[in-house]
Structure 1
Amino acid sequence: MLTLSQATYDALVAHARRDHPDEACGVVAGPEGSDRPVRVVEMLNAARSPTFYEFDSSDLLQLYKQLDANDEEPVIVYHSHTATEAYPSRTDIAYASEPNAHYVLVSTREPDSVEFRSFRIIDGVVTEEDVTVVDGDV
């Protein structure tokens, strides 16, 4: 199960809506081994595409340097789908390389609603998990 704060949930949804019609992407970092998503890091979709996202390689390198320096890890890897449901595509599954991360998808296909789902993706196997949003810190 993924537990995140209302502020983090709101930040991911806002990023997805702001970057629409292109896919938004980013990471929510947390203390190593804690499974606590606390620091939202919005990333640039280097592909600038409505159907695909790609982290900029230099931005990703900087992110991992920050994570190492702060004893953090990516707790959530997120991106949006702009025309389809919030479910990992074959490409999403193929690129999922963080076995401890929650993979969050936010669908912005409906302008007046949001679909927010979380998955574990390990060795190509996708498992949906419950999402709990809480007030305050996690």
Structure 2
Amino acid sequence: ALLQLLVLSLLDPTGLLELAVSATMQLGSYVSRRQFDRECEAEADATGLDIVTRACFDPVAAARMMSKFVELDPDRSSAWLRSHPLAATRLKRLLSQSGRIEADARAREHCAHEQLDLRAALRALYERSAPPTVAPSAPRGSSAW
């Protein structure tokens, strides 16, 4: 390292070459980390889809949600600099996985029971949080007594 520094200082006394080499190395490191981040995001999508399916939710709904992201982010330029995969790429992957997972979910008999329990729980929660209904008031000019 000391010898390299000595050679660089002799070849480029201004330090511009060293700066260019350092910047190039940092850019390469950044780009390689972005690829790792995108792979982690793809794995997270697959894991999330599996969890959603095991919880008896509709796995195709995840793909429908991702299609909203495709509409919001149509720009596909500089995909290699992004930390997340393009929304269109994620949607294709979710669609291919969700068809297989949906078939697996249908094979599970407990899902129908779980969905009924969930609907009942949501209905009870809604009924508890709904404002009390007010009795209609008497028409004007009439006495409620």
* Shorter-normalised TM range: under 0.3
TM-score (ref. length: structure 1) = 0.23
Structure possessing the higher relative contact order (Cα contacts under 8 Å, 6 or more residues apart): 1
More strand by share: 1
Give the alignment's TM-score, normalised by structure 2. Answer: 0.23
Structure exhibiting the larger radius of gyration computed from Cα positions: 2
